[in-house]
Amino acid sequence: MRFVIALMRHETNTFSPIPTPLSAFSRGSSTGAPLYGDDAARACQGTNSAAAAFMDLVRAQGDEFVMPLMANAVPSGVVTREAFESMSATIIEAVRAGCDAVMLDLHGAMVAEGLADAEGELLARIRAAAPGIPIAVSLDFHANFSAALVDNATVIAGYRTYPHVDVYETGARAARTLMAALRGEARPVMLWRTLPMLTHMLRQTPREQPMKDIMDRAIAAERDGEVLNVSVFGGFPLADIPHTGLTVLVVADGNQADRTSAGARLLDELCAAAWARRADFVFPLEPMEVSIARARAAQAGPVILVDHGDNCGAGGPTDEMTVLGEVLRQGLEDVVAGPYWDPAAVAILVAAGVGNTVTVDVGGKTDTPALGLKGKPLRLTGRVRCVTDGSYQVTGPMFTGMQLSLGRTAVLDVGGTLVVVCEQPQEPFDTGVFTHAGIDLSRRKYVLIKSRQHFRAGFEPIAKEIVLVAGPGVCSSDYSQFPFRNLRRPIYPLDEHTSMHAA
């Protein structure tokens, strides 16, 4: 058999001021553009990605595949229509050339200009080009769902972890069910429901309650054969679209009436459990100054300070400097901070040269009109400690093996505090953002990063303590700051008297 395998991933923060053109889909590529054909397959091979699982399973069966596209972008603002049209056309052209099935490594929260559900549109176009073609889809835990997304897929499976360390396994789960369908051993039927809940991303992780035993129940149901697949999606709450919310999706076997009924009961059970805990999915905010003062009292490091209001992993520019400014004001010592996105500052530091002292305005180059935030640079004086090309390979458990780049990167030593400044934004889910520049994190008292949960993959093992810091930014957990206009209403917690069955 012949398969089309493609990777197209983007998590769209519709409030983010950072545009997302085609060139942004170069994560994992050194070309400044998406990868195509054999280059795409080589870049994915051996990585913790769903696409790698698809390829491995096809090869193990002795079948063949083509991989027309690997397009992966750091979360940011709305994707340009031109970018979406280019990527979708590349995939559809490969499908039209002939195949027995399609396997897609998608995110599930991509919003393009004029398209609230870009992945749903892609699947509808594939169906139009090849009616009846079986389609398996792997989705991020933060996917948002529309009817188009579900109706045009054969099977969907989602990550069960946050940080996302089971991406390969998610691809394998989706592919195994697709192969069973192709062999006539199963007839996948998808049952799903999106609850009117805006969960907080700091309360979503299946590692802890309130999500833990909900996800554990889903895992057990699939493992024990109650259903073919079951996934619980926390959803991406910073998308102002009608599809945002927590979703449960069950894949039952339509060949067995009792299994379909069991799938429907499981769907009801999981949705009821999530709704009953809706208040527990709200994250209580602590003032930034209080969090930093609490960290200052720590006896031993590394203490990981997590600025979660400006995280490029959720669409932030990572150039908001308020938290670093407060860390310096409160006198925390022995700090490494970053990486901060500021190509202009990098150019100044590179020109100054290693070993030289320079004064530079770092960050604050980006305004966020949707939230009424103005960029405020932080003026720093220090010695340029080193300059790198920013390239490193992920060695931690999240997206293991992927080659990433921060672009040119400079480290500025500001009185013992090391500030890492880069040309390309990257969430620090892997310690390589620092270690590639020769920084030994084990010898540092404080590590200040911009993240939410993904940092735990690489940084939790070295942390003596973790302090969450609610800095300002487009990734804030204070939903009252966001001018939502397109959500389905009512929705909890914006509308407290929301019913589970709200339209």
Chunk the chain into consecutive blocks of 10 residues (it has 503) and report each block's average pLDDT, rounded to whole numbers: 98 96 87 92 95 98 98 96 98 98 98 98 98 97 98 98 97 98 96 97 96 98 96 98 98 90 96 97 95 95 96 94 97 96 98 98 96 96 97 92 93 96 94 96 96 94 96 94 96 91 67
| Under 8 Å between Cβ of 235 and 246 | yes
Q: How much is the pLDDT for 252?
A: 97
Secondary structure string (H, E, C) spanning 99-113:
CCEEEEEECCECCEC
What pTM did the predictor assign?
0.94
Q: How much is the pLDDT for 114?
A: 97
Q: How much is the pLDDT for 257?
A: 83
**Residue 229, SS3 per DSSP:** strand
* H helix or E strand, kind and range, residue 335: strand 335-341
CA angle, 216 as apex, 214 and 217 as ends, to 5°? 65
Q: How much is the pLDDT for 29?
A: 74
Question: CB-based contacts of 176: which residues, under 8 Å, 6+ apart?
Answer: 57
For residue 157, give the nearest of 233, 84, 72 by alpha carbon: 233
Examine residue 163 and say whether the peptide bond preceding it is cis (omega within 30 degrees of 0): yes
CA 211 – CA 150 distance, rounded (Å): 23
For residue 413, give the nearest of 451, 443, 387, 449 by alpha carbon: 387
| Under 8 Å between Cβ of 8 and 122 | yes
For residue 59, give the nearest of 5, 23, 117 by alpha carbon: 5
Question: CB-based contacts of 204: which residues, under 8 Å, 6+ apart?
Answer: 141, 142, 162, 211, 234, 281, 453
CA dihedral (448, 450, 453, 456) positive or negative: negative
Sheet with 465-469: list strands edge to edge.
Answer: 357-362, 378-388, 409-414, 417-422, 335-341, 446-450, 303-307, 465-469
Which residues face 69 on adjacent strands?
6
**How many DSSP H helices and E strands does the chain contain?**
13, 18
- Sorted by where each starts, the structural domains of the chain and their CATH numbers stand as 2-281 (3.40.50.2300), 288-476 (no CATH)
Question: What is residue 496's DSSP assignment?
Answer: T
Q: How much is the pLDDT for 503?
A: 52
Question: CB-based contacts of 498: which residues, under 8 Å, 6+ apart?
Answer: 196, 197, 490, 491, 492
